[in-house]
Chain A
Amino acid sequence: MPDYGHDLLFGTFVTPSASPAHHAVDLAVAADRAGLDLVTFQDHPYQPRFHDTWTLMSYVASRTERIRLSGNVLSLPLRQPAVLARSAASLDLLSGGRVELGLGAGAFWDAIDAMGGRRLSPAQAVVALEEAIAIMRQIWAADQPGGVHVKGDYYAADGAKRGPAPAHDIGVWIGAYKPKMLALTGKTADGWLPSLPYLPGGPAVLGDLNERIDEAAASAGRSPSDIRRLLNINGRFGDTSTSLLNGPPDQWAEELAGLTLEHGITGFVLATDDEYTTELFAAEVAPATRELVAAERRG
């Protein structure tokens, strides 16, 4: 399968622990200093051990300089889309264009329901996500005439004002595995953000999933390269190679470059709460992977 040709992004996936309060902040600052491109946080508003992810991202943005931030992924059912759109635009403006919007249709419906959120079936949640994205995109399109009008089954906006426009084109990245979500990703998203450990057959299934996204993109009149493919990864550094992403940094680089060249993955988000691992990923894996990919792309 194709390499979609995007430049490579390397980032971390940090546990948004509420205690100690600055745990995640310190790790994000370390990722920023190490020169990584991206720091991301899961979002489980019903989980009291975690910070509120939007609040954490806003705080981290103000304490970092270069690194981009994203939810990985934000739980849409507990976030009002129009408010989220303006919040994202606001943070993008404050941070000089460093915000991307990782979104999920929702999971853990019992917990969402217990918080007073609306319980949806998986199929309904996909439709709701599409409606929410439409509202958000209209809000960001501040230069378009008229108000925001989306008459969805789950979300509606009826004449809300547009704006503010974000500082850059905020990428909407979707965590998708199932056909409907993959189709939505191809149809409308700027990025695809699955997790390697959740892929049933490991990296081998990436080809099939990419194909579904590509098909949906094509039928929406888009190019497959409009959708960046990112991947959450787990791994461990060690002296000897034991399995995928379990071994020395040069092994990682080869494996990741393989994922780029074979499966078009150009965003690698490593789940780690360890500063040393973060630094090693930035200092050794990222440049080596970039080199391997560049060499191969040059042909």
Chain B
Amino acid sequence: MHYGHALTFGTFLTPTATEPARVVSLATRSEELGFDLVSIQDHPYQPAHLDAWTLLTWLAGRTRRVTLAPNVLNLPLRDPAVLAGAASSLDRLSGGRLALALGAGAFWKAIGAMGGRTLSPGESVTALSEAIDIIRASWDVGDERPIRLNGEHYRVDGAARGPEPAHDVPLWLGAYKPRMLRLLGAKGDGWVVTHQLLRPGQLAEGNKLIDEAAVAAGRDPREIRRLLNVSGDFLGGPGEAWVDALLPLVVEDGVGTFILATDDTATLERFAGEVAPALREAVDRELPGTSLPPLRRAAVRARRREGIAYDDVPAALADAAIEPGDVGYAGVRSTYLRGGAPGLVLRPRTEEEVAEALAFARAHPRLPLSLRSGGHGISGRSTNDGGIVIDVSRLNSIEVVDPARRRVHIGPGARWADVAAALAPHGLALTSGDYGGVGVGGLATAGGLGFLAREHGLTIDHLRAVRMVLADGSVVRASDDENPELFWAVRGAGANFGVVTSFEFEADEVGDVGWARLVFDASDTAGLLHRWGATQEAAPRDVTSFLLVGPPRRGRPPVAHLMAMVDSADPETVLDRLRPFAEIGPLHDQSVVLTSYASVMANASPEAHNGHGEPVTRSAFAEHITPEFAADAERLLRSGAVYFFQIRAVGGAVADVPPDATAYAHRSANFSVTTFGVDRRRVDAEWDRLAGHLDGLYLSFETDPRPERLADAFPPATLRRLRELKATYDPGNVFRDNFNVTPERRSH
């Protein structure tokens, strides 16, 4: 009987309280010697021992690689709900290195003397079963309901779930008797037993009970690892004898992990040096090719979505892939602004893996496919329901390849805050958006309107080449010289043509900048808008400002926030540029600092995305803020349909580039206008009334699904050219999650 588990080795150390340094050094030595696991016995009533949990946590701080486990943790003296949280903490702090091995309890008299509850063996198995449910529920942060589990021995009534562990912490159980073995088969992930305490044949009997219980619970027995504590004494004699003794336990009894109980360094060394490698070899000889990739628990597999060939995920991607039942799913299902429930998130690390992920996705043509870099898509719906997400956030390198020529290579998964921080030491910056959390992949394929736009243009204007994986899986480079048509399309409509895996930019020299925030009374909203627009148009290029006007608030006048960047390190220039802006309305508050572009961009939260629902936004460009437009904008704000209304200055360097030079064509506009609301129909109805003042749109800020918007995003000539190119590069329309340009139908 074999369960396909790769063979691993651990140590089992005595936590002698009088010599704390000794057990710590045995643990670190275990790691150095290549053991996979360090385990510590737990007898909280034993004063000669260090507390196992405290010691394991200490060891987490002193090791880097080994898995840490109690062997086994005495449940009766630990509260399961608190233990679940403690286990998550230890797993997070250790970078996913905890295995939680539990025992139902023994030495009841000593437990009672500590003030613990004494249970009969039968009761203790029930209590353990309840505790497992509580622990698993606490870790299942994907379920947003509070935990309610009313057992005979433990009651949790309304506790919040979380924190989530860093990885799928295996729950191992110490079990000898049938009831425990059946519980293990139903709910455990590993069987921990001590060899000396077993009768001959007991492993096989135990396996049988476990396997039957597993199958009865709808599980695969291979989900359960079999771990055996073996003592150094048992392993007296030469190394070969040890191998001879252990081999049948693997081959016949399916043991996947041997845990060596010893406090003797020489024995550890001999085992690691002689026994472990020889045993591995012998097992490979006896059971060639039976080692399986880790199997997901039945409870995890039960949450899989229909129509996805989960078992066919390419090996290179399987490790990091996240499916709905997995730990970590809550952190990848949604994006910054959108709730989602994808069936599979593939997280390639390399260009080749991107191609593999894409091939896998192409084999599922009927499922939604989303592409994600930084997860800040507004138009780009980088999550979905039941489909596949290719998440390239791990392609996030930032490399200044040639400081003199200001050449920078950036992966799509990098965030703009990180880009700014990496370039700053070189005295460089790349014009980007205003928010440091946004990903390079989504922004640098669409445009890139930010605080350096008027002086330095759009992000795409600094793009010199891209590497990308096309719909057919081929990898190409596109630049002015190579695939120039594709390069044209990528700069404004990139999401329709492939997955960009690397961007080659030319950055600008940017020193400290002036950074101002002014707050105005916006009672006269229209007047303020108009005066700001005129001021901004009259200002030199080195100042770019955004005006955010709030809707009227109950009983209080609306306020407007102006944010402005002056690309100058000279305080006089900064103040000169800002002075006219301070006069556009009654000033509530102001702050001006000289700072780096990087510190302005360091404005994003590191938290995982947690969006809900669908964003409702509109976008457009305006040549000028005429009094008529300003008045209608005020009406929009008063309508109550929108909660966010922002106008950004563009123009300047953006307008230096001819409209047909890139797929982003709206070069002449001086302003980009964006709004957010809640109710799609109300927002659209109100916004559509502004149409006379507006022209075109910036696709990255638009979520109106009506087909006319495509014509707003791309003027006729641009759209025609894009559709022809789409027919060449993505005739099957694989890439359709963001302002989809359908391919030109060819008449052959």
Q: Which positions in A face B, CB cutoff 8 Å?
A: 18-22, 25, 45-52, 54-56, 58-63, 78-83, 86-87, 89-91, 93-94, 111, 113-117, 135, 139, 142, 147-148, 155-164
Q: Establish whether residues A62 and B163, one from each chain, have CB atoms under 8 Å apart when the complex forms.
A: no
Q: Establish whether residues B57 and A59, one from each chain, have CB atoms under 8 Å apart when the complex forms.
A: yes
Residue of B17, B81, B85 ringed by the most chain A CB atoms within 10 A: B85
Any A CB within 8 A of the CB of B50 = yes
Q: Establish whether residues B58 and A55, one from each chain, have CB atoms under 8 Å apart when the complex forms.
A: no
Q: Which of B18, B55, B141, B159 contacts A115 (CB 8 A)?
A: B159
Separation of A93 and B160 alpha carbons in the complex (Å)? 34
Leading 10 A-B pairs by shortest Cβ distance: A62-B61, A163-B47, A48-B162, A58-B57, A164-B17, A52-B86, A18-B163, A21-B92, A114-B158, A90-B50
Q: Establish whether residues B85 and A113, one from each chain, have CB atoms under 8 Å apart when the complex forms.
A: no
How many B residues touch A, CB cutoff 8 Å? 60
Residue of A79, A90, A139, A155 ringed by the most chain B CB atoms within 10 A: A90
**A156 neighbours in B (Cβ, 8 Å):** 115
Q: Establish whether residues B24 and A164, one from each chain, have CB atoms under 8 Å apart when the complex forms.
A: no
Q: Establish whether residues A160 and B115, one from each chain, have CB atoms under 8 Å apart when the complex forms.
A: yes
**A51 neighbours in B (Cβ, 8 Å):** 85, 89, 92-93, 163
Q: Which of A45, A59, A81 contacts B58 (CB 8 A)?
A: A59
Q: Which positions in B face A, CB cutoff 8 Å?
A: 15, 17-18, 20, 24, 44-51, 53-55, 57-62, 77-82, 85-86, 88-90, 92-95, 110, 112-116, 134, 141, 146, 154-163, 166, 606-608
Measured CB to CB, the nearest residue on chain B to A113 is B157
Measured CB to CB, the nearest residue on chain A to B60 is A59
Q: Which of B24, B44, B89 contacts A82 (CB 8 A)?
A: B44
Selected A-B contacts with CB under 8 Å, 18 pairs: A18-B162, A21-B92, A48-B141, A49-B162, A51-B89, A55-B86, A58-B54, A80-B77, A80-B78, A82-B77, A89-B17, A111-B159, A115-B79, A115-B81, A116-B155, A160-B115, A161-B110, A163-B47
Q: Establish whether residues A164 and B163, one from each chain, have CB atoms under 8 Å apart when the complex forms.
A: no
Measured CB to CB, the nearest residue on chain A to B76 is A80
Whole-angstrom distance between the Cβ of B591 and the nearest chain A Cβ: 14
Separation of A129 and B82 alpha carbons in the complex (Å)? 19
**A56-B93, A90-B50, A163-B17 known; A63-B61 Cβ under 8 A:** yes
Q: Which of B48, B54, B112, B141 contacts A87 (CB 8 A)?
A: B54
Q: Establish whether residues A80 and B89, one from each chain, have CB atoms under 8 Å apart when the complex forms.
A: no
Q: Establish whether residues A93 and B57, one from each chain, have CB atoms under 8 Å apart when the complex forms.
A: no
Q: Establish whether residues B160 and A62, one from each chain, have CB atoms under 8 Å apart when the complex forms.
A: no
Q: Establish whether residues A80 and B115, one from each chain, have CB atoms under 8 Å apart when the complex forms.
A: yes
**A161 neighbours in B (Cβ, 8 Å):** 45-47, 110, 113
Count of A-B contacts judged by CB separation below 8 Å: 180
Separation of A80 and B112 alpha carbons in the complex (Å)? 12
**A91 neighbours in B (Cβ, 8 Å):** 51, 54, 58
Whole-angstrom distance between the Cβ of A20 and the nearest chain B Cβ: 6
**B62 neighbours in A (Cβ, 8 Å):** 62
**B95 neighbours in A (Cβ, 8 Å):** 21
**B77 neighbours in A (Cβ, 8 Å):** 80, 82-83
Q: Establish whether residues B93 and A25, one from each chain, have CB atoms under 8 Å apart when the complex forms.
A: yes
Given A80-B115, A161-B110, A164-B17, 15 other A-B residues pairs in contact with their CB atoms under 8 A: A20-B606, A45-B82, A45-B85, A52-B85, A52-B88, A55-B86, A59-B61, A61-B58, A86-B47, A90-B17, A90-B20, A116-B81, A116-B155, A135-B115, A164-B49
**A135 neighbours in B (Cβ, 8 Å):** 115
Q: Establish whether residues B113 and A48, one from each chain, have CB atoms under 8 Å apart when the complex forms.
A: no
Q: Establish whether residues B115 and A59, one from each chain, have CB atoms under 8 Å apart when the complex forms.
A: no
Q: Establish whether residues B24 and A94, one from each chain, have CB atoms under 8 Å apart when the complex forms.
A: yes
Q: Establish whether residues B606 and A117, one from each chain, have CB atoms under 8 Å apart when the complex forms.
A: no
Whole-angstrom distance between the Cβ of B110 and the nearest chain A Cβ: 7
**A115 neighbours in B (Cβ, 8 Å):** 79, 81-82, 156, 159
| Secondary structure of the A contact surface, majority rule | mixed
Q: Establish whether residues A157 and B55, one from each chain, have CB atoms under 8 Å apart when the complex forms.
A: no
**A158 neighbours in B (Cβ, 8 Å):** 112-113, 115
**A20 neighbours in B (Cβ, 8 Å):** 606
Q: Which of A52, A83, A162 contacts B44 (CB 8 A)?
A: A83
**A54 neighbours in B (Cβ, 8 Å):** 53-54, 86
Q: Establish whether residues B58 and A58, one from each chain, have CB atoms under 8 Å apart when the complex forms.
A: yes
Q: Establish whether residues B160 and A52, one from each chain, have CB atoms under 8 Å apart when the complex forms.
A: no
**A21 neighbours in B (Cβ, 8 Å):** 92-93, 95, 166
Q: Establish whether residues A55 and B90, one from each chain, have CB atoms under 8 Å apart when the complex forms.
A: yes
Q: Establish whether residues B158 and A93, one from each chain, have CB atoms under 8 Å apart when the complex forms.
A: no
Measured CB to CB, the nearest residue on chain A to B109 is A159
Whole-angstrom distance between the Cβ of B81 and the nearest chain A Cβ: 4
Q: Establish whether residues B156 and A114, one from each chain, have CB atoms under 8 Å apart when the complex forms.
A: yes
**A54-B54, A56-B93, A59-B58 known; A116-B47 Cβ under 8 A:** no
Whole-angstrom distance between the Cβ of A197 and the nearest chain B Cβ: 25
**A25 neighbours in B (Cβ, 8 Å):** 93
Separation of A63 and B59 alpha carbons in the complex (Å)? 10
Residue of B18, B45, B81, B89 ringed by the most chain A CB atoms within 10 A: B89
Q: Establish whether residues B160 and A48, one from each chain, have CB atoms under 8 Å apart when the complex forms.
A: yes
**A86 neighbours in B (Cβ, 8 Å):** 44, 47, 51
Q: Establish whether residues B82 and A52, one from each chain, have CB atoms under 8 Å apart when the complex forms.
A: yes
Measured CB to CB, the nearest residue on chain B to A150 is B115
Separation of A139 and B113 alpha carbons in the complex (Å)? 12
Measured CB to CB, the nearest residue on chain A to B62 is A62
**B606 neighbours in A (Cβ, 8 Å):** 19-20
Whole-angstrom distance between the Cβ of B63 and the nearest chain A Cβ: 10
Whole-angstrom distance between the Cβ of A65 and the nearest chain B Cβ: 12
Residue of B20, B48, B112 ringed by the most chain A CB atoms within 10 A: B20
Measured CB to CB, the nearest residue on chain B to A47 is B160
Separation of A45 and B83 alpha carbons in the complex (Å)? 9
Separation of A147 and B113 alpha carbons in the complex (Å)? 9
Q: Which of B47, B89, B115 contacts A52 (CB 8 A)?
A: B89
Whole-angstrom distance between the Cβ of B587 and the nearest chain A Cβ: 22
Measured CB to CB, the nearest residue on chain A to B92 is A21
Q: Establish whether residues B78 and A62, one from each chain, have CB atoms under 8 Å apart when the complex forms.
A: no
Q: Which of A55, A142, A157 contacts B114 (CB 8 A)?
A: A157
Separation of A117 and B161 alpha carbons in the complex (Å)? 16
Separation of A80 and B46 alpha carbons in the complex (Å)? 15
Measured CB to CB, the nearest residue on chain B to A63 is B61
Whole-angstrom distance between the Cβ of B152 and the nearest chain A Cβ: 13
